[in-house]
Amino acid sequence: MKAFKLHNPSELEAALALLDTPEARAGKTRILAGGQDLLTEMKEHLAEPDALVNLKHIPGLDGIAAGGAGEIVLGALCTLTALEEHADLGKRLPALTQAAASIASAQIRSQGTLGGNLNQRPRCWYYRSEHAPCLKKGGKECYSYGGMSKYNAILGGGPSYIVHPSDLAPALVALGASAELVSKKGARTVALEKYFTLPSESDVTRETVLQPGEILRSVRIPAPKANTRSSYLKFREKGSFDFALASVALALVIDGGTIREARVILGGVAPIPWRAKGAEAALTGQAPNRATFEKAAVEAVRGAEPLAHNAYKVPLTKGLVIRALEELCA
């Protein structure tokens, strides 16, 4: 890693001030939370910040608490293990705790944070290589497009075909979460569904709307409606420790033998957590049975545009949607 200054502010204001300097805005200062992604980027020289702003000495950023109206507020510095093991969250929002439990390894979860997980950079092996000057690094080309695309996007791709690697993202989008961002200018709230950006619609070098100078401070989840059940099913090539080849986050309201509401968010298949609206429509108002699930699965991948090496993600995602629905509705 390149040498850097390590700032350990003890107040949020101080941290925001450090992120507001011209150097910081030019990308020379990075936020250090758990460091489980940042340090890997720095060791590969993909990121060479002159300074790190460590958020871990600032109190009040890591809580799991109740907000108003049964809302749940998660501090961005909550560790993934804290989320995974939270008994009450596990009862009320199983999609969240299942997603947290599926991340990386126990060692990484104990240090990795909610904010870090949402803001992590892509795993695309072209992105992660110093020798592939791709679009995301300010280059001219997406190398996965005509290259080794096994782990890249089948939905929403172009001009970059990364998949967003976060497991918490699809689960939280399924749960209708929003993100609170703060900067020196103030605070703003963004629905998590709008937090992640498609490369075709936004700055291709970013994956989120987080601007230089901003810190993701917390994530709020509205109280789940009555009769809500949720889950997160992650499919890995290496079951022990891997990013998703594809994943499915579900939040269903089932009442009187009918699916009243459905949110189906796919992970591992698009540059953002992918809201499968067609699948949601195919489920809403239907009985939770295999025939319904199969229709939803077909809709989930409608419009998929596989690359040379990832056509398997189409049947895989379909199969996974069916398995996830079967398990959740069992």
Task: Let me know: does 313 contact 246? Beta carbons within 8 Å.
Answer: yes
Q: Which two tokens stand for residue 239?
A: 């079951």
**Alpha-carbon separation of residue 82 from 18, 62, 85, 222, 276 (angstroms):** 28, 9, 5, 19, 29
CA atoms within 13 A on the CB side of 105: 6
Task: Let me know: does 220 contact 187? Beta carbons within 8 Å.
Answer: no
Cα separation, 156 vs 200, whole angstroms: 8
Q: Which two tokens stand for residue 164?
A: 């967003």
Shortest reach from residue 201's CB to another protein, in Å: 28
Residue of 86, 87, 74 lying closest to 113 (CA atoms): 74
Shortest reach from residue 106's CB to another protein, in Å: 5
Site for another protein, residues 239 to 258, rule: CB under 8 A: 239-242, 245
Site for another protein, residues 129 to 158, rule: CB under 8 A: 129-132, 143, 146-148, 150
Position 123 contacts another protein (CB under 8 A):
yes
Among 155, 249, 316, 329, which residue interacts with another protein (rule: CB under 8 A)?
A: 316
Shortest reach from residue 259's CB to another protein, in Å: 21
Listed in sequence order, the residues at least 6 apart from 316 whose beta carbon sits closer than 8 Å to its beta carbon are 235, 245, 246
Shortest reach from residue 170's CB to another protein, in Å: 17
Site for another protein, residues 157 to 186, rule: CB under 8 A: none
Site for another protein, residues 199 to 238, rule: CB under 8 A: 235, 237-238
Position 56 contacts another protein (CB under 8 A):
yes
Position 107 contacts another protein (CB under 8 A):
yes
Q: Which C-beta is closer to another protein: that of 65 or that of 191?
A: 65
Q: Count of residues binding another protein (CB under 8 A)?
A: 86
Position 281 contacts another protein (CB under 8 A):
no
Q: Which C-beta is closer to another protein: that of 42 or that of 251?
A: 42
Q: Which C-beta is closer to another protein: that of 77 or that of 169?
A: 77
Position 78 contacts another protein (CB under 8 A):
yes
Burial of 303 (0-12, 13-18, 19+ CB in 10 A): exposed
Task: Let me know: does 240 contact 86? Beta carbons within 8 Å.
Answer: no
Q: Which stretch binds another protein (CB under 8 A): 7-15, 166-174, 207-215, 284-292?
A: 7-15
